[in-house]
Structure 1
Amino acid sequence: MTDLDELTLRSAYDTQLRPGLPDPVPDGVEVESDGPLFRVLGRHDRGLVTYRDLGGLGGAELDDLIGRQVAVFRERGEPVEWKLHGHDEPADLPQRLRAAGFVPEDEESVLVGPVAPLASALPVVPDGVRLREVTTRADLDRIAELETELWGHDLAGLAEGLEREMTADPQAITVVVAEADETVVSAGWVRYPAGTTFATLWGGSTRPQWRRQGIYRALVTYRARLAGQRGRTMLQVDAGAESRPLLGRLGLVPVTTTTPYVYTP
């Protein structure tokens, strides 16, 4: 891929997927605007600050904007994630967030690529493993238990968050599990953002003993096929260091980075 290709893909990502607001908005979730950005309140884990760009704000005006977000979430007693992208301006935004009490978590790569090559392949899983689309709360609870076990902190709220999304619009998200007998060994979900050509992939954490057997790749392929069936032509993934090389081999291109900056009251 050339630099122009990467810039074109990043432009499509910025134009179509940012600011990335829930649509429709699930019950219990609120979206508020504040200048160039949006606050998403009442999510299952923490609030979200998101935007397409900050409209050229800098200096004291930007500090005031950041300070207003801190004040809102401090009053609510709710942690909040400021979703910072590597190409966001101004360049000193990370320092200003830190000065306001935001703490950076692990950086991820934003990868973008075409659906068609992946959708034309068949998902292949090891013997004894099956892929299954799920909708019940019991299955979503099993996914949350898996994520809690793998990440080492309580992610029980994930089940409620996914359930609320599916209730708001069953056609906007598909959740898929990889199972061995009655054990969930991995899970991922795909969202179909309204008014875009994109499908976005989430999840994919896999039990250690089942890694390097093609399960994550199969989940990606399966969800790409779902995206193709809905007429989506592009895929987007926020990927950690472990999954980025595989996604690159599958044709997805890193176009920027994203880092959660988290303020906890």
Structure 2
Amino acid sequence: MMDAQTLLRAYDQELRTDAETQNALSETHLGLLRLVTFDGDQGFVTYPHPDDAEATQMPQLVPRVLDHFREKPTINQVEWKTRDHDGVLGLHQALVGNGFQPDDPESIMIGEAKMLDVNVQLPAGVTLRCVTEEADIRRMTAMESLVFGRPLDDMADVLLRRLALKDGMQLWVAEAEGQIVSAGRLEPVVGTNFAGIWGGATLESWRGRGIYRALTATRSRSALDLGKTLIYSDSTEYSRPILERSGLVKVSTTTPYRWYR
């Protein structure tokens, strides 16, 4: 079993590269920073693990980053993705001082895919499948809207466009009596050993029955079939304990900061 430091090193070396922005519509570099535009009018800021000099300069770049995105009238919000182990002093103050709002911190979870490939007993009547049809995807995002408490109508359109690109993304759902009760994505990362598991959501009345863990195991099995040996996810406190029981390890913390036009 790989230890947390080895997993974190693999995360920094393999994922904080072009791999992190492979679906970008556009990308501009500002020093170490990558200023990215994604489908859905989303701006995104990320960067490799900085050295001491780069970390010192980063807070000073926040106003220039905002100037860049303000000049793009279609961009309605920007996410600046921070990682706790970067240790960038003064970045929080610079972001908040320029109008960014921090979301809740999330745990960066990583583990070996083979450890998650286990048999999980599903409740009677619950089945899992990978979906590609528009009707299924809209049913899936409607369920996720209920779970997350906000409309995700645009997300269905984004996912449909992603599927049309055939970039390897898979959408998995759990169904019971014709209703989607849980769902999650698998996103293999080109040129790396990683696949990401994202968008995990389960209706409250179906939680605690092993369904999300079964979806995690199924996605990990699919990742192994694609030659991916490592699984990663940014997890809320709802999903972190489930992923820990499945074999993922918390290697750091990430906090998204968001700016809204």
What is the TM-score with the length of structure 1 in the denominator? 0.90
Matched, 1:47 2:72: no
Q: Distance in 2 between matches of 1:247 and 1:254?
A: 9
How many residues align structurally?
257
Q: Name the counterpart of 2:132.
A: 135
* Residue segments in structure 1 that go unaligned for 5+ positions in a row: none
Q: Distance in 1 between matches of 2:58 and 2:111?
A: 33
Q: Name the counterpart of 1:161.
A: 158
Task: Give the SS at the match of 1:256.
Answer: strand
User: Once structures 1 and 2 are overlaid, which stretch shifts more, 196-205 or 145-154?
Assistant: 145-154
Q: Name the counterpart of 2:141.
A: 144
Q: Is the 8 A contact 1:9 1:112 kept in 2?
A: yes
Q: Name the counterpart of 2:222.
A: 226
Q: Is the 8 A contact 2:108 2:250 kept in 1?
A: yes
Q: Distance in 2 between matches of 1:242 and 1:156?
A: 23
Q: Distance in 2 between matches of 1:138 and 1:22?
A: 28
Q: Name the counterpart of 1:249.
A: 245
Q: Distance in 2 between matches of 1:167 and 1:80?
A: 25
Q: Is the 8 A contact 1:134 1:177 kept in 2?
A: yes
Matches within 5 A, 1:9-158: 9-19=7-17, 20-23=19-22, 25=23, 29-44=25-40, 46-55=42-51, 56-57=53-54, 61-75=57-71, 76=73, 77-119=75-117, 121-158=118-155
Shift of 1:240: 0.9
* Residue segments in structure 2 that go unaligned for 5+ positions in a row: none
Task: Give the SS at the match of 2:54.
Answer: coil
Q: Is the 8 A contact 2:60 2:94 kept in 1?
A: no
Give CA-to-partner distance per residue, 1:115-159, whole Å, 9 cap, x none.
Answer: 11222x224321111101011222211121112122222211111
User: Once structures 1 and 2 are overlaid, which stretch shifts more, 81-90 or 121-130?
Assistant: 121-130
Matched, 1:8 2:17: no
Alpha-carbon RMSD across the aligned residues, in angstroms, is: 1.9
Q: Is the 8 A contact 2:28 2:35 kept in 1?
A: yes
Letter in 2 for 1:220: T
What is the TM-score with the length of structure 2 in the denominator? 0.91
Q: Name the counterpart of 2:199.
A: 203
Q: Name the counterpart of 2:234.
A: 238
Letter in 2 for 1:191: E
Shift of 1:224: 0.6
